[in-house]
Structure formats: structure tokens, C-alpha cells
Structure 1
Amino acid sequence: MQPTSDSTTDTRHIWHPYSPLPGPRPNLPVAAADGVYLTLDDGRVLIDAMSSWWAAAHGHRHPDLVAAAHRQLDILPHVMFGGLTHTPAVELTRRLLALTADAFGPGAPDAVFYSDSGSVAVEVAVKAALQAQRAAGHPERTRLLTWRSGYHGDTFGAMSVCDPDGGMHALWTGTLADQLFAPAPPVRGSSDREIADYLQVFDSLIDGTVAAVIIEPVVQGAGGMRFHDHALVAGVRRICDAHGVLLIADEIATGFGRTGDLLTTAAAGVTPDILCVGKALTGGMMTLAATLTTRAVADAVSSPAGGGALMHGPTFMANPLACAVAAASLDLVAAGYWRETVPRIATELERGLTPLAGRDAVADVRVLGAVGVVDLHRPLDDAAMTAATDAAVATGVWLRPFGRLIYVMPPFISTTGEVATICAGVRAAVDAADRAEVHA
């Protein structure tokens, strides 16, 4: 048998996200990454305008994170967390609790469960909520309420609270847990009356079966890249309190500065009962996520009536190598450099992307923090998707359109010139997608 090329092996044998096998087109081979840049096998250099799906917030191979990984690798790369503990987990927890105490004040989440992906962090949050309701004498509370256009991950519990129609998981209708869905929240800048009317509808959907509400606060991610007002988050908190249900905040994508706030719930004046974080937690060096709960939730779950333990145990829970890197990443977050760079990036994205709002193909342009979104009137078909991606690559920018969206989330270290290049890449992508649609 003749050996196959790397590209042939990849296309024929390796599953990529949300793709068939074999893949529809060759994937770009990356040889190295540094700062905001990806170097391809053929020598081309691209700006990673996606921060590799929100994770590489401080850029690739940040020297502080690389040094932390090297130190830990020589000491203890992994050990099981059942019955054992280690300094990296303890140190990371201290940093997380310091950040949450600073953000939320008294009553902040202060119990931490580590897992190895954002989806699993959501699964753990759901389990904790259900067990806490059992402890409160409400075993009948087994469902979750969320709003449409949301995305919380690709495992089955997480899929059940993603948008059931417009999301990526409609294939599984009838096999997922039956959850409750409010309409998509009114967009950022809505009037007080629109927000109040929406919250009234949201409130009306809570019945005796609802254990918790789960939302992506302020920014909905892969479900549509929609932004909403902090007042909605505060209103949802009041509704949860009125009905005795828990609030789960999925800040896996928004946490640690992406929107310009350390945590969007805290910026809304809200303390969630359960908080999920991930992605930028390790600065994109490796996978790690955390589910944080208030002491009240932790005590309820740990009580005999609540099950006596949080019933989950990932093999790589609190991996020492990941924890050491995450602690170094949180040191960068705590240092606060992003408080200056993210607002600057937002201004530069607005300057570079807002002119696209006048294009016939464009329905909306929106920017919040280091997130820029161009929303098209129609979803991109395969030809338009390829054309848009290729056009951005030709300008030296890597981005990953999906559905109607061409969006970017630059690393927090991006310079003014690099943001300008990213905006040029988005403009080229929109132009190419529009041409592909016209010629289809």
C-alpha cells in the first residue's frame, strides 16, 4: 500500500468539526503559531482572527504560559484527582476564587469542579442544579428554561438547551431531554418597554418542573452571535429568585475579558448560582473548564438529600499541567492589560466593519468588546463559504464563517495594524461571499 500524503490522510480519515467524512475540502495545515499569527506548512502567515475559537485570548504561545507548562511538565503532568490533590489545582482555585470574589463580592461562587471541556462544564452544572433541587425537596423539578439562539455545547445535556430549531442539533429532536425555550432575547439597545415585555413572557414560562435557567449572558455565541443588554440578565436573576429556581451562567465564551468585562454577569450586577468558564481559562494552551457554584448549592448537592456528592468524575479532572497553565493565564487576566486593549480593539473593529452595513448583502454589523460580527441576509452555501474563507486567507487573515455570519474575535494582544488587517479580511470575505451568491 502506497503511503498517502498528509492532506489525503486528513481528508479521508480525520473528522473535523461539523464536517462529513471525507471532508468537503482540504483543511489548511498549520506548522506553528506565535502571538496572533499562524504559520502554514507552505510558509504563508495568517492572523488568527478567531483566537482559535475564543481560547487564545493572550495570543499563541504567550511566554508566561509556555514557561508554566515547561515547569509543570518536568514535575507532574498528570495524576488522577480521585482521592489525591496537587498544588496546581489549589493555586488555580485560589486565583479563580480571588477573581470571583472581586467580581461578585459577598456570596460569590466559591466551590469549583474542574472538567476537560466547556460542554462537560455545562453537564456538571445541570447535574448540580438538579441535585440541589432534590435537596430542597423538589425532585419534580427536572427541566431547564433557556432562551432561543443559544449554544451550550455538543454533549447531550448541553445540546438539549441549545436552540432546538435554528441551532446545530435539530437532528436530535426527540432524543434529547425536553427543555423549555423562551423566544430569543431582544437585541442590545432595546427599549425598557421591550425588555420588560420580554421578561414578562420569560417569567410566564416557569412552571413547577423548572429546576434552573441557563443562559449565555450578554453575548450568545455559536447560536447566532447575538448581543443583548445587561438589564435582561438582571431581570432573569430576579425571575429566578421569585420562583426559587437556580441561575446557570454559561460564560465559557464571554469570561475573562472578551466583552470588555471580566465576567458579564458581574457587570450586570448579578451573581449566578452556578457559573461555567473555559476557553480562555488556559489562554488556549490546552483544554480545561470549570463549573463554580455558590456555597449554598455546594452544601445542597453534598447533603444526603442532594445525593451526597456531585456525581461526575472526568479522568483528566484538574489535570496538573492544564491547571498550572490556567493559573498563569489568570495572572495575565488579573494584571488587567486587556482593560485597555479590548476597548481599543472594539473601537477599531467598529471603524473597520461598520461601513459594511451599507452593503446589500449585509443585514447587520455589531461589535462588543473584542467581538465583531457581520450578519448577512442569507446563509452562506458551500461555495460562498469557501469563497469567503479563501478571500480572507488571501489578505492574511484566518476566520471561520458559519451560517449567515462572518465574525472575528481577535486576541487581546492584537495591535492597531493587525486589527486593520483583520477588518480588511472581513471586507474581502463579504465581497467574495456576495459574488459567489450572485453567480450561484
Structure 2
Amino acid sequence: MTTSDIEFDRQHIWHPYTSMLTPLPAYKVESAKDCTLNLEGGSQLVDGMSSWWAVIHGYRNPRLDAVAHNQIDKMSHVMFGGITHQPAIDLAKRLIDLTPAALERVFIADSGSVSVEVAIKMALQFWLAQERTEKHRLLTIKGGYHGDTFKAMSVCDPVNGMHHLFSKAINSQLFADAPTLTPDDEWTEDAGDQLKRWFEQFHSELAAVILEPIVQGAGGMRFYHPAYLKLIRNLCNDYDVLLIADEIATGFGRTGKLFACEHADITPDILCVGKALTGGYMTLAATLTTKNVAETIGQGPGGGALMHGPTFMGNPLACAVAAESLAIIAEGHWQQQVHNIEKQLRKELLPLAQYESVKEARVFGAIGVLEMHEPIKVAEAQKRFIELGVWIRPFGRLLYIMPPYVITAEELRQLTYAMKDYAEN
């Protein structure tokens, strides 16, 4: 960027989670290919973030590029009210094929946060249609993150999450303690005692439980025991409560299973997906639910319509790319790719727990995390990472990577070396 461009960006463009008074530096990317970001000036960076966990097939994937070009020649967008089109039909078919059998109704949203809003509306309208208006609250677990819109914020961690500034403006939901047992721990029956008590006490007013299965992402990059998720599914069944699984970050292979719910062998009543849905090409998400939930809502007030309809819902361009992204997923190469990434991360990251600066090192699927004892100075860290030829975006005390599935062993080694360099200094 020229000096004037840098100054214009700093003064006028509001980047995510940064102050307009003292903004974090922004680096200009001119192009990207496979797992590499090419900066203005010639620097090449191995991308450890998959552009916030979405670009699983790499940048400029030939198949996704071809589908996008082909779709633009037909139409980039038409409204979805009263109109349908082949890309939406193809996408819905692939989603239904890939997700658990019971999930056969698809709402195509335009972002992850919106898919969570839609899921919550589904849950509330499900009970409203049965004239059970007392069931209007949500239960979740501490340490979670579900998006930046207001209803989604209401189920994000209320104390340590990003949205505590809005506590007086959002609905009060119920928060159980975050799970303490990891997937590597031995399950103990008393681990779910508090959760059982909460169901006993509040089930009559609970519309749904919403959580990130197995992996809590932006709320802290924590991994918890699958038995906890299975317990929640059973409690929801016993107490007549819906279960919403937010798989926006974990869906499509990131944890080593196609969906993280598979680690506990459970099916939610409502499933949210996004991020990797289009291979990171553009914004798109979806909320899937069961025939029972959809048809119950259909018998409710307001003509049975689900009260949501974004302008860019079912965008043909995004749907076409997403359908092809899921076609790549369906071929199954991601399984070996994620296995290889996990194996290498365990070998190269877990030993870094020995450093004094590191509180804990953890790996799950294609996710590698160093939790530091002290908060990371993001601007300083990113400057050093760029010098080392990598792009890693830490937050809080967390230094983590979620690379594209197509990353090579050498590229991944560059990322883990950079994390080692940070831990040493």
C-alpha cells in the first residue's frame, strides 16, 4: 500500500475487533493461491488461519473457481422469495446427504450469525406453535461463542466473551459451567451433575440448548469430552427440550469427523453450518432441522411461516460454489488430510508445553493451540510472524492455527516453527 492508502485505511476503514483510535495494523493482500497469501511488496505468508477457518480447500481452487465463473455467466443473484434455482437445490441435496438422516429441512442463510438467529427462531416458534409460550429461554455452557448478532450474543460467554459490553441490552439466558473433562480424560458420572440439576429446575421454560459440539471455538479454543454431549442429548430427550448444534466452526471435517456431533454419535434437532460451507469463497450458511420441527412450526401462528428472510438468502453464486465445495468434501480426501495435520501438530506442538510461557498445548483434528500464561500483544506477534513467513492471528492468550486441509507438511512446519519461536521468546 502507498502511504496515503495506509493512512486512508487507518482513518476510515473499521476492521474487526479493533479500535478506530488505535487500530491494529492491516496488511494488504494482493493475491492468494493454495495456502499462501501474497502481500504487496512481495512477502509470501503461509496461512495458518484458513481465513477464519473457512478456506479448507485452499485459495483459487480450480474447481471452485470454475463453478463461480460458470454461475456468474448465468446469474449472480435473484431473490429467494417465490423463486428457486438449481444451485440452491443442489446445495440442499448435498447438505441432506452429508448430515444425519433426520435433518431434512434446510434454511439457506447468509452468514453464521444469521444461521444461529434462525435456529433460535425455529426453536421458539416450535413451542409457540404448540401454545407452550413458557418455553422461551435458552441454556448453553460457559466459554461458548455463537456470533455477533444480538440473539447470538445472548448465548456467548457472559463474562469472558467478546460481548460483555452489551450485557444490559441482551436477553438473560442460562449458563451451565463449561465442561472440564477433555476428550483424553476418563469420563466420570458426576461430571454432568450440575447440568442435570439445571434441567430439573428449568426444563419447563427451556426452548432449547445451544452449544458448540466438542470444540468451543472463539470463546477459548477448548475441547471437551464427547460423553458430555451425549448426556445433553439424553437430557433434552428426557425433558422435552430441543438441541441446537452450532457446527459453524467444526463442520465439514475440522475435528477429524465430518461433524463434531459424530464424536458422541448424536443428532441435534437443529444444526447450524457455515464458514467452510463455500470453501471460504464467500459468505453463506445454513440451518437444518427435522421434519417434526419444520412441520410443527408450519401449524403455528402467522400462517406457519418461519419469520426470517434475508435479502441474499439462497444466493445462487454462493450456493453453486458451496455445492461444489461439498462435492469435494464428499470425495473423502479430507479424512486423510486432517489425520495428517493432526499427527504433525501433535508431534510438533504438544512438546511446546514445556516452555515457561506456555500454560497448555492442545491439538484436536486440524486445530492446534498454545494457551499462553500472558495475553499476546497481537501487533508485535503478527509483525514477527510475517518476518517468519506465516500468517497467524492470535487473540487473548491464545496462539492457534486451523490451516487449510490442503496444506503441505513443509508449510505446516513453518507454522509450528513460528509458534515455537514465539513460545521461546
TM-score category by the smaller chain?
over 0.9
| Cα deviation code 1:323-361 (max 9, x no counterpart) | 000001000100010110101100101111112101111
* 2:422 equivalent to 1:426: no
Mapping of residues 201-220 of structure 1, within 5 Å: 201-204=197-200, 206-220=202-216
Residue 333 of structure 1 corresponds to 329
Residue 435 of structure 1 corresponds to none
Tell me if structure 1 keeps the 8 A contact 2:213–2:261.
Answer: yes
Mapping of residues 28-427 of structure 1, within 5 Å: 28-100=27-99, 104-105=100-101, 108-188=102-182, 189-193=184-188, 194-204=190-200, 206-305=202-301, 308-380=304-376, 384-427=377-420
Q: 1:267 to 1:306 in 2, by over 3 A?
A: farther
Q: 1:419 to 1:295 in 2, by over 3 A?
A: same
Q: Secondary structure at the match of 1:206?
A: helix
Q: Secondary structure at the match of 1:84?
A: coil
What is the root-mean-square deviation of aligned Cα atoms in Å? 1.5
Matched residues in 2 for 1:119 and 1:415: separation?
Answer: 31
Q: Secondary structure at the match of 1:153?
A: coil
Q: Secondary structure at the match of 1:233?
A: helix
Matched residues in 1 for 2:243 and 2:409: separation?
Answer: 38
Q: Secondary structure at the match of 1:304?
A: coil
Deviation at 1:307, TM superposition (A): 5.5
AA aligned to 2:35 is V
Q: 1:22 to 1:42 in 2, by over 3 A?
A: farther
Q: 1:65 to 1:405 in 2, by over 3 A?
A: same
Long gaps (5+) in structure 2: none
Tell me if structure 2 keeps the 8 A contact 1:234–1:269.
Answer: yes
Q: 1:405 to 1:88 in 2, by over 3 A?
A: same
Matched residues in 2 for 1:240 and 1:109: separation?
Answer: 17
Long gaps (5+) in structure 1: 433-440
Matched residues in 2 for 1:186 and 1:306: separation?
Answer: 43
Matched residues in 1 for 2:96 and 2:110: separation?
Answer: 19
| Cα deviation code 1:258-284 (max 9, x no counterpart) | 001001113311111100000000000
AA aligned to 1:268 is A
Matched residues in 2 for 1:267 and 1:357: separation?
Answer: 26
Tell me if structure 1 keeps the 8 A contact 2:255–2:365.
Answer: yes
Matched residues in 2 for 1:204 and 1:243: separation?
Answer: 8
Tell me if structure 1 keeps the 8 A contact 2:272–2:286.
Answer: yes
| Cα deviation code 1:113-145 (max 9, x no counterpart) | 111110000000000000001123311111100
Matched residues in 1 for 2:18 and 2:276: separation?
Answer: 25
Deviation at 1:201, TM superposition (A): 4.5
Percentage of identical aligned residues: 51
Matched residues in 2 for 1:121 and 1:48: separation?
Answer: 26
Residue 438 of structure 1 corresponds to none
Q: 1:187 to 1:13 in 2, by over 3 A?
A: farther
Residue 18 of structure 1 corresponds to 17
Matched residues in 2 for 1:421 and 1:125: separation?
Answer: 39
Matched residues in 2 for 1:245 and 1:312: separation?
Answer: 22
Deviation at 1:229, TM superposition (A): 1.5
Deviation at 1:7, TM superposition (A): 1.1
| Cα deviation code 1:360-385 (max 9, x no counterpart) | 111111000100000112222xxx32
Tell me if structure 2 keeps the 8 A contact 1:77–1:321.
Answer: yes
Residue 5 of structure 1 corresponds to 4
| Cα deviation code 1:299-328 (max 9, x no counterpart) | 011113486110000000010000000001
Q: Secondary structure at the match of 1:293?
A: strand
Matched residues in 2 for 1:266 and 1:139: separation?
Answer: 32
| Cα deviation code 1:183-233 (max 9, x no counterpart) | 011231333225343543453453321100000001000000000121111
Matched residues in 2 for 1:205 and 1:57: separation?
Answer: 42
Between 182-191 and 116-125, the greater mean CA deviation after superposition? 182-191
Q: 1:277 to 1:199 in 2, by over 3 A?
A: same
Matched residues in 2 for 1:300 and 1:87: separation?
Answer: 27
AA aligned to 2:146 is H
Tell me if structure 2 keeps the 8 A contact 1:133–1:306.
Answer: no
AA aligned to 2:238 is A
Matched residues in 2 for 1:256 and 1:235: separation?
Answer: 23
Deviation at 1:429, TM superposition (A): 2.7
Deviation at 1:294, TM superposition (A): 0.5
Q: Secondary structure at the match of 1:412?
A: coil
